[in-house]
């Protein structure tokens, strides 16, 4: 437990004072992803990603692979969380926190039919200079693939269409690409569409908010940072 605590302190130490409890809605512009391997593949002892609040009772949607092998899962500003359910096909995980009265659940739109997206997520503290600022970047949907891929911290973040409707969740993966005889990791982003998310939440007897504000500001209010601590 001392080792786990030390890793958690190290992860949180990269955030400036107050960042663990306050999410800045500055709308900072994010850079595309660096070609960084998955945390599990490198034996990383910790990872931070994004999550979307889906109920006032403390349910949070995030990337399932982030939650694999965690000794502790922490939602920044709220404390420990536990994994309540998962969907291995869509790589979705449903977390639960307690005693958080100020949560703002997201309102999901319908099936996405366009190509222009705005991605919202909380980039890794080191790559954005620290803090819990919510960053935004423009992207294009090409089938289920999202280009360009954002930074890894965006995984579990929100994808908005041109009308500001929340149409899905972003997931990032890295694959090995052979280049001039060497193998290097290449980031790939995909969109988990709103209907898939709705079906997952329905299976857990959760009904997403049926109506609410649209746009980036509304989506930002529903984003949190999720931290996984491994031994």
| Cis? peptide before 148, omega within 30° of 0 | yes
DSSP 108-172: B-S---SSEEEEEE---TTTTTSS-PPEEEEEEEETTEEES-B-GGGTT-EEE-TTS-EEEEEEE
Average pLDDT (168-172) is: 94
Where is mean pLDDT largest: 9-13, 43-47, 185-189, 220-224? 220-224
**pLDDT on residue 112:** 84
Please report, for the chain, the start and end positions of each structural domain, with discontinuous segments joined by +: 2-229
Rounded alpha-carbon distances, angstroms, from residue 169 to 22, 110, 208: 22, 13, 14
**pLDDT on residue 194:** 92
Token pair listed for 73? 């899962």
Q: What is the mean pLDDT of the chain?
A: 78
Instruction: Determine which of 24-28, 111-115, 164-168, 182-186 has the lowest per-residue pLDDT on average.
Output: 24-28
Q: Are strands 28-29 and 135-142 parallel, antiparallel or unpaired?
A: parallel
Model pLDDT for residues 49-99, shown as the tens digit of each residue: 999 999 999 999 999 999 999 999 999 989 999 999 999 999 999 999 999
**pLDDT on residue 143:** 85
More confident: 71 or 15: 71
DSSP 84-114: EEEETTTTEEEEE--S-TT-----B-S---S
Token pair listed for 37? 């391997």
**Res. 29: pLDDT tops 80:** no
More confident: 195 or 212: 195
CATH architecture of 2-229: Beta Barrel (2.40)
Cα 200 to chain centroid distance, Å, stands at 17
Average pLDDT (192-221) is: 87
Contacts 24+ apart (CB under 8 A), 22-26: 22/77, 22/132, 23/76, 23/77, 23/122, 23/132, 23/133, 23/134, 23/220, 23/223, 23/224, 23/225, 24/131, 24/132, 24/133, 24/134, 25/134, 25/217, 25/220, 25/221, 26/133, 26/134
Q: How confident is the model at residue 43 (pLDDT cuts 50, 70, 90)?
A: very low
Token pair listed for 208? 């997403």
Q: How confident is the model at residue 125 (pLDDT cuts 50, 70, 90)?
A: low
**Res. 18: pLDDT tops 80:** no
**Res. 5: pLDDT tops 80:** no
Dihedral angle, C-alpha 84, 89, 92, 98, nearest 10 °: -10
Token pair listed for 139? 């992207």
Contacts 24+ apart (CB under 8 A), 173-176: 173/38, 173/65, 174/35, 174/36, 174/37, 174/38, 174/41
Tokens 């994808």 belong to residue: 159
């Amino acid at each position: 437990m001392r080792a786990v605590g030390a890793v958690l302190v190290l992860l949180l130490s990269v955030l400036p004072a107050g960042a663990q409890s306050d999410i800045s809605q500055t709308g900072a512009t994010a850079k595309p992803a660096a070609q960084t391997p998955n945390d599990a593949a490198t034996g990383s002892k910790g990872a931070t990603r994004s999550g979307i609040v889906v109920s006032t009772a403390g349910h949070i949607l995030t990337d399932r692979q982030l939650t694999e092998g965690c000794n502790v899962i922490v939602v920044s500003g709220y404390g420990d969380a536990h994994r309540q359910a998962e969907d291995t096909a869509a790589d979705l995980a449903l977390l639960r926190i307690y005693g958080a009265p100020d949560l703002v659940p997201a309102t999901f739109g319908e099936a996405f039919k366009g190509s222009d997206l705005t991605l919202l997520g909380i980039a890794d503290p080191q790559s954005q200079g620290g803090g819990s600022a919510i960053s935004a970047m423009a992207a294009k949907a090409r089938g289920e693939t999202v280009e360009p891929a954002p930074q890894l911290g965006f995984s579990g973040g929100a994808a908005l269409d041109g009308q500001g409707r929340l149409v899905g969740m972003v997931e990032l993966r890295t694959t090995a690409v052979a280049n001039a005889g060497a193998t290097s990791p290449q980031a790939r982003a995909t969109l988990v569409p709103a209907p898939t998310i709705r079906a997952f939440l329905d299976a857990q007897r959760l009904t997403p908010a049926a109506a609410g504000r649209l746009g980036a500001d509304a989506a930002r209010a529903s984003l949190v940072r999720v931290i996984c601590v491994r031994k």
